[in-house]
Chain A
Amino acid sequence: MPGLHLVGLLKRFGKTTAVNKVNLEIEDGEIMTLLGPSGCGKTTTLRCIAGFLIPDEGEIYLGDQSMTDLPPEKRGIGFVFQNYALWPHMTVFDNLSFGLRLRRVPRSKIKSRVDETLALVRLSGFAERYPRQLSGGQQQRIALARALVIQPRVLLLDEPLSNLDAQLREEMRFEIRELQKNLGITAVYVTHDQAEALVLSDRIAVMNNGIITQIGTPEQIYNQPNNRFVAGFIGLSSFVDGIVTGLDTARAYATVTTSDEVAIRVPAGSMALNQEVTLAIRPEHITLISDTSAEVPPDANLLEGEVIRIAYLGDVIDYRIQVGGWTLRVHTDTDTHLRPKDKVQLMIPAERINLISPDL
């Protein structure tokens, strides 16, 4: 199966540019997630790939074949809709066999293909039911089965799990990924749920305002966000602006000084002296030390702060800590018992701090 290739895809609705020059290369057998906030253009991108929308600019390739001018029925793409879109006047069997009959698959083969696919989504024996006789989760699987039974070249899924309850949603993430891997099908998955994206993707393309701001594996996206939007949208990050005031090339560290004269040691990367940068720090990468005699690794930053807000989240405690003129969010285990106005010392390992350019 060939990979999917979007080149300069652009789609406008009146004055809004829903998708703005998107380039994306999805490899053969890969599951790529489009992740982004509501209205960022995920669905529009997916609908362009499916052929339901005609892009204003750009090309869509499947392998070497340009699909830009093909109608949806000629693309061989399976689509799973957010609201399932099962045909209410047909049984599960008819929903699945519809596409096969159009392909003139012989009657005897239709039966076995439908049965196989139902087994794949673990709903054998549901063939004679009508969609409304199924639970939401079952409808979801049938929608998946209907898209898969035609053996599409690409599978597109638009927030397929958003109508399910939390537990089922979590289960289905694994199931979808497993299915996709077993079939080896190229897939594009749309969601605004970061946990979903992290669990089931080979790679994630983070979208904002019709633009892809970063593409990478879940680990890369989470650990090395390269812009402020990604750092804030996937997981939590606190941001600190500063200027590079010192470079220690030998040990590959740089010193960034904030506007209130706090010096922070960070990995040097490709920074130049006097460059403006933004630091992104994850709450779980900061340690609170109340005992000054605690052992501190040599590369770590030690900062003074004051607790300003506390939120108990069950698994962690979420502190907001004022350091100079800015605040940091810190997650600790639930054994710490700090109170507002308490003075604390924060330890941040230099290599845990992400540098992002401030303009993005």
Chain B
Amino acid sequence: MSRSKILVKAIEAVVLVFLCFFIFGPMLALVLWSVAMKWFWPHVLPQEIGLDYWAQALGLQKSLAIGAVSITDAFQTSIVIAVLVVVLAMLIAVPAGYVLAKYRIPFRGAILFLFLMPQAFPQQPVFVNLLFSFNKIGLTSTIHGVVLIHLMVSLVFAVWISSAAFKGIPPELEEAARSVGASRLRAFFQITLPLAAPGLLASAVFVFLTSLDEFTGTFFIGLPFISTLPMLLYSSSGYNLQFASVIAIVLLIPSILFMVIIERFLKAEYIGGVGV
């Protein structure tokens, strides 16, 4: 091995160690905190470990810390909201992305700008304003209201990603289908859509994770009745680090799961041919 190669390897190793430290270090701390029954300074490791907080969080054991709100309830709320947001976002983002990618539609800039609007201002004033208007039509503290807020936050990216997914597919593929007898609709569903699927899935995952993590909007519109995982995390993190750690880990699980699914899917047989 030449000297420069050794140097490269050494740098790689250092970078890797640092990465591990930054990614897995905090995760390890989270895991430790979630099982720490007793952990006082200056001890490096918890003095006493146990699954009490997990049991409490999952409602298996009566919780002293938070009382009425269990993680399972919040988890359920979070998932229901996230799924609804994904379905609605994709119902809009798939056709919108397709049209934006394929046609030179008039006012294209204006339309993209419209999607971008909610992102263009500081979030808090926007949400406070929405709180007033949502209040008038009775959307505050409802699932619908929170779903709408999450949709607003994630839609521009959903449309953007799916438009990119459609742009990557040569229009000739659809034309070839037309010429052998497929209607516009069939060509879309049997040729373009399957080929765009990985990109659309990425878009859906992005929306799902955004919704799962969303805090500010949910805080203004959802409270006091809608409590999602990030709400719970926030309200418990001040005085109960163990409980907060449990929630944080629960929040991580869907993300990691989705990463695995995406990885699987992006490696699927036919993706290699996309863009030919």
Q: Knowing that A71-B183, A78-B179, A85-B172 are A-B contacts, what are 15 other residue pairs whose CB atoms are under 8 Å apart, sorted by A's residue number?
A: A50-B175, A52-B175, A52-B179, A72-B178, A81-B172, A87-B173, A87-B177, A88-B195, A88-B273, A88-B274, A89-B270, A98-B180, A98-B182, A99-B182, A103-B181
Q: How far is the CB of A142 from chain B (nearest CB, A)?
A: 11
Cβ of B194 under 8 Å from chain A: yes
The B interface, classified by DSSP as helix, strand, loop or mixed, is helix
> Looking at the complex, which one of B170, B178, B182, B273 makes contact with A132 (CB distance below 8 Å)?
B273
Contacting B at CB under 8 A, from A44-98, are: 50-52, 71-73, 75, 77-79, 81, 83-89, 98
Complex-state Cα separation, A146 to B273, whole angstroms: 18
**Is the beta-carbon distance between A87 and B178 smaller than 8 angstroms?**
no
Q: B residues 18-67 with Cβ under 8 Å of A? A: none
Most buried by A among B170, B178, B181, B272: B181
A130–B270 touching, CB < 8 Å: yes
- A102: nearest chain-B partner, CB-CB: B181
Provide the residues of chain A in CB contact with B182, threshold 8 Å. Answer: 73, 98-99, 102
Residues of A within 8 A of B180 (CB): 73, 78, 98-99, 102, 146-147, 150
Q: Give min CB distance, A130 to chain B, whole Å.
A: 6
Q: Quick check: is A210 within 8 A (CB to CB) of the other chain?
A: no
User: Which residues of chain A from 107 to 145 have any CB-CB distance to chain B below 8 Å in the complex?
Assistant: 130-132
Contact with B179, one of A77, A84, A87, A130 (Cβ below 8 angstroms): A77
Q: Bound state CA distance, A337 and B182, in angstroms?
A: 63
Q: Residue of B at shortest CB range from A150?
A: B180
Number of A interface residues at 8 Å Cβ cutoff, please give it.
Answer: 28
Decide yes or no whether B186 CB sits under 8 A from chain A: yes
The answer to whether B126 has its CB under 8 Å from any CB of chain A is no
Pick the 3 closest A-B CB pairs, nearest first: A88-B273, A99-B180, A85-B172
A contact set with B: CB distance below 8 Å? 50-52, 71-73, 75, 77-79, 81, 83-89, 98-99, 102-103, 130-132, 146-147, 150
Number of interface residues of B (CB under 8 A): 24
Q: Which residues of A contact B195 (CB under 8 A)?
A: 87-89
CB distance from B189 to the nearest CB of A (A): 13
Pair A89/B176 contact, Cβ less than 8 Å: no
Are A87 and B183 CB-contacts (below 8 A) given A130-B273, A131-B276? no
Closest chain A CB from B181 CB (angstroms): 4
A243 and B183 alpha carbons, distance in the complex (Å): 60
Query: CB within 8 Å of A: which of B136-183?
Result: 170, 172-173, 175-183
A72-B273 in contact (CB<8A)? no
Complex CA distance for A72 and B176, rounded to whole angstroms: 10
A residues near B263, Cβ cutoff 8 Å: none
List the B residue with the shortest CB-CB distance to A156.
B179
* Contact (Cβ within 8 A) B178 A73: yes
List the A side residues contacting B194 at CB < 8 Å.
89
Taking a contact as CB atoms under 8 Å apart, the answer to whether B273 and A50 are in contact is no
> What's the Cα separation between A71 and B179 when bound, in Å?
9
Q: What are some 13 contacts across the A-B interface (CB < 8 A)?
A: A72-B178, A73-B178, A77-B179, A78-B179, A79-B175, A79-B176, A81-B172, A83-B276, A87-B177, A89-B274, A98-B177, A130-B270, A147-B180
A126 shortest CB reach to chain B, Å: 15
Using known A-B contacts A102-B186, A130-B273, A131-B276, determine if residue A85 contacts B181 with beta carbons closer than 8 Å: no
